[in-house]
Chain A
Amino acid sequence: MTMTAAATGRVSRFARWRDSDLAYNFRRSPVTVVSAAVLAICLAGAIFAPWVAPHNPFDLATLNLLDALSPPQWMAGARPGYLLGTDDQGRDVLSAIMFGARISLLVGLASVIFAMVLGVSLGLIAGYVGGKLDAFIMRIADVQLSFPAILIALLIDGVARAVLPRETHGGPLALFVLIFAIGISNWVQYARTVRGSTLVEKNKEYIQAARVIGIRPLGIMRHHLLPNVLGPVLVLATINIATAIITEATLSFLGVGVPPTQPSLGTLIRIGNDFLFSGEWWITIFPGAALVIMVLAINLLGDWLRDALNPRLQ
C-alpha cells in the first residue's frame, strides 16, 4: 500500500513537471533544447573526464613525444588516436579540453555561488535593517559598479599573487584566490536585486506577523524573506556563470589565473597561442571553440529562463 503510494507519488511528480508551463515552454523552443543538449554533453564530458577522455594529459607516463604536434585526424600527417591533434608535448588536445573544462566550470560555478551568497546576504541586511548600514553597503556597491567587473577581478587577483609567497602559485590556494577575486567582482548585482525585493517584501503582512510573534531579525531574513526574494537571483546566477567562465578564461589567458599544472580552457588557449605562427592552430582554436560553445549554450539557456519566468511576457 505504501509502496504504491510512493510509486504514484514519484510518477505524478514527474508528470507534473512534464505538464508544467516551464517544460512546455522548453519543448516549444528548439534553440533552447539544442543548447540544453550541448550543455549536457559539455557537462558530462567535463565531469566524467577522467573516465571518458581518450587519454590522461597529466599522466606523464602515457605521453609520447613522437606524437607531439600531430594535426587533427582529418588532416594529412595525423597520428592515429588523437581526434583533435596533440600539443608540443604530445598531449591529446581533446582530453586536455575535457580536463580543462572541468577546471573552468568548477571555478565558474564556485565563484558564482560565492558571489551569490555574499550579495544575497548583504542585500538582505541592507534592505531589512536599512538606515546607515544600508547606505554604507549600497554606497560601496555604487562605487564598485563604476569599475568593470573584469578589471576588479584582475586587480584583486594580481594583488593577491604579489602578496602571497611564490610557492603557493601552483597549489590549490591559487584556485581559491581566483574564485574569491571573480566572486568579489560580481556580488553587486545580487545585492541590488535582493535589496529591491526585500524593501517590497518587508512591509507585507506575513513579515509583520513574524515580527509580532517575536522571531529575531536573522530568523526572519533566513526563513521568511530569503525564499521570497530568491527567484530573480537564480536567473541572474545562470547568466553570471557564463560571465564568470569568461572572466576565468581571460585571467588564465593573461597568466594570472589558474596554475599551469591544472590548465583551464583559458590556460590551454594561452599555451596554444605560442604555436599559432608555426601553423599549429588546433592547439589554441579548439579550446577556444569549446569555451565559446559552452558560454553560448549557458547564455541562451539563461535568456530562455529569464523570459520563461517573467510573468509579464506570458
Chain B
Amino acid sequence: MLAFIIRRILQSFAVMAVVAFIAFALFNFTGDPVTFMVGQDATQEERARLRSDLGLDLPFYVQFGRFVGRAIQGDFGLSLRQGRKVSTLLKERLPATLELAFVAAVLALVLGVPAGVYTALRRDSWLSQLLLAISLIGVSLPTFLIGILLILVFAVVLGWLPSFGRGDTVALGWWTTGFLTKSGLKALILPAITLSLFQMTLIMRLVRAEMLEVLRTDYIKFARARGLTDRTVHFGHALKNTLVPVITITGLQLGAIIAFAIITETVFQWPGMGLLFIQAVSFADVPVMAAYLCFIALVFVLINLIVDLLYYAVDPRLRIERLAAAQ
C-alpha cells in the first residue's frame, strides 16, 4: 500500500519535473535576455555585470533549480507583452475559467445523467432515439464549430444572447464573479453549453451503458421478484450502482474541461486563462506560456493522483491483485 502511494507520488513529481524543464528550456531558446535589456552601446563589462546580477553565468542546473524554486512560489517573472507580473495575470484570469468550467461540469451532470437514465429505461421511445442522434452529432462536431453555430443562431440571427466577453462582473476580494449580474449570467450561457456538450454526451452514453448492464443483473431481477416498485428498482438499486464509474469519469474529465476551455474561450473571447495562453503563443510571450504550461500540468497531475489514490482506497480488488502479483 505504502509502496504504491510513494511510487505514484514520485511519478507525479517526475512528470512535473519534465514539464518544468520544458518551461525552463523555453526561456533559453528565445534568445539572450541581456541583449534585450541593455542598450546598443553597452560595454562588454556592463553586459558581464548584468549577466552575473541576473545569475545567467551560473551553471545550467543551478539556474534550473532557481527557476523551480521561484515557480513553486508562483513567481514566473513579467509578461513580455503586458509588462505585468505573470502571477497577477493568471490570478485575474483564473476566476473566469473556473466559473466557466464549473457551470459546464454541473450542466453536463444535471442534463447528462437523467438523459442517460431515460434512454436506458425507455429504449424504444422517440425521445431516446432523438437524444442518441443528438449525442452522435455532439461527438462528431468539433467544439469550436458548435460554438460558432450557437453564436450564429442565438447571437446573430435571434439576438438573444451576447457572443463574447463575460458581461459585468462583481469583485469579491481578488475573485471576480459573473454570477451576480444579469449580463454576466447571460454571457455565461453560450460558452457553458459549448463546453459542456461533449462531456454531456459522454456522461449520457456512459450512464446508459452502465444502466443497461446493471438492469440485466440478478439482484435487479430479485428486487423485482420481491415486488418492489419500478421506481425503487430503477433509482434505489440500479442508478446507485451505476454512479461509481460515472463519478470517476467525471472527476477525470474535470481536467479535460479546463483544457477544452482554451478552445471555448477563444471562440467566445472569454477572458480566461486559455485565451491568455493562446494570445501568449501568438506573441511568443514566454513567461506566460511557461506559467500556463506548469499550471495545466499541475491540475492534471493532481486530479489523476487523487483519482488513483481514491480508487485504491475504495476498490479492495486492486490491493489483492497487487499482493498476488508481489508473491
Contact = CB atoms under 8 A, between A and B. Distances in A.
B22 A159 contact: yes
Give the interface SS of chain A, mostly helix, strand, loop or mixed: helix
A277 B159 CA distance: 11
Interface in A208-259: 246, 249-250, 253-256
| Centre residue among A151, A166, A291, A292 by max chain B CB count within 10 A | A151
Interface stretch (A11-19, A93-101, A281-289): A281-289
A61 interface: no
Interface of A: 139, 143, 146-148, 150-151, 154-155, 158-159, 161-163, 166, 246, 249-250, 253-256, 269, 273, 276-277, 279, 281, 284-285, 288, 291-292, 295-296, 299
B293 interface: yes
Nearest to B30: A162
Given A143-B11, A158-B281, A255-B278, A292 B22 contact: no
B259 A148 contact: yes
Contact of A292 (B145, B255, B304): B145
Interface of B: 11, 15, 22, 26, 29-30, 140-145, 148-149, 151-152, 155-156, 163, 252, 255-256, 259-260, 262-263, 266-267, 277-278, 281-282, 284, 286, 289, 293, 296, 300, 304
20 contacts: A146-B300, A147-B255, A148-B256, A151-B256, A151-B259, A158-B277, A159-B26, A162-B26, A162-B29, A250-B143, A254-B278, A255-B282, A256-B278, A269-B145, A273-B267, A276-B151, A277-B155, A285-B152, A295-B142, A299-B140
Pairs A-B, 7 closest by C-beta atoms:
A151-B259, A158-B281, A163-B29, A146-B304, A162-B284, A246-B142, A253-B144
A48 to B, nearest CB: 26
A267 to B, nearest CB: 12
Contact of B282 (A146, A148, A256, A295): A256
Contact of B262 (A161, A254, A291): A254
A142 B155 CA distance: 42
A88 to B, nearest CB: 17
Given A146-B304, A151-B296, A288-B145, A162 B289 contact: yes
Contacts of A163: 26, 29-30
A255 B144 CA distance: 12
Contacts of B11: 139, 143
Nearest to A252: B144
A20 to B, nearest CB: 29
B140 A161 contact: no
B266 A254 contact: yes
B282 to A, nearest CB: 6
A139 B11 CA distance: 9
A256 B252 CA distance: 27
A247 to B, nearest CB: 9
Contacts of A254: 144, 262-263, 266, 278
Contacts of B29: 162-163
Give the interface SS of chain B, mostly helix, strand, loop or mixed: helix
A279 B155 CA distance: 11
B281 A249 contact: no
A246 B146 CA distance: 13
A155 to B, nearest CB: 6
Contact of A277 (B15, B156, B300, B304): B156
A269 B30 CA distance: 31
Given A250-B143, A254-B266, A256-B278, A162 B286 contact: yes
B148 A276 contact: yes
Contacts of A276: 148, 151-152, 156
Contacts of B155: 277
Given A151-B259, A166-B284, A158 B289 contact: yes
Contacts of A296: 140
A254 B264 CA distance: 10
Given A162-B30, A276-B151, A250 B156 contact: no
B165 to A, nearest CB: 14
Contacts of A151: 256, 259, 262, 296
B320 to A, nearest CB: 21
B22 A161 contact: no
A291 B266 CA distance: 19
Contacts of A256: 278, 281-282
Contacts of A279: 156
A291 B143 CA distance: 13
B260 A159 contact: no
A147 B304 CA distance: 10
A162 B143 contact: no
Contacts of B149: 288
A253 B282 CA distance: 13
A142 B250 CA distance: 19
A150 B149 CA distance: 21
A281 B152 CA distance: 8
A299 B137 CA distance: 12
Nearest to B12: A143
A241 to B, nearest CB: 13
B307 to A, nearest CB: 9
A161 B284 contact: yes
Contacts of B152: 276, 281, 285
A166 B156 CA distance: 36
Nearest to A247: B142
A47 to B, nearest CB: 23
Contacts of A299: 140
A163 B142 CA distance: 28
Contacts of A249: 142, 144
A291 B26 CA distance: 34
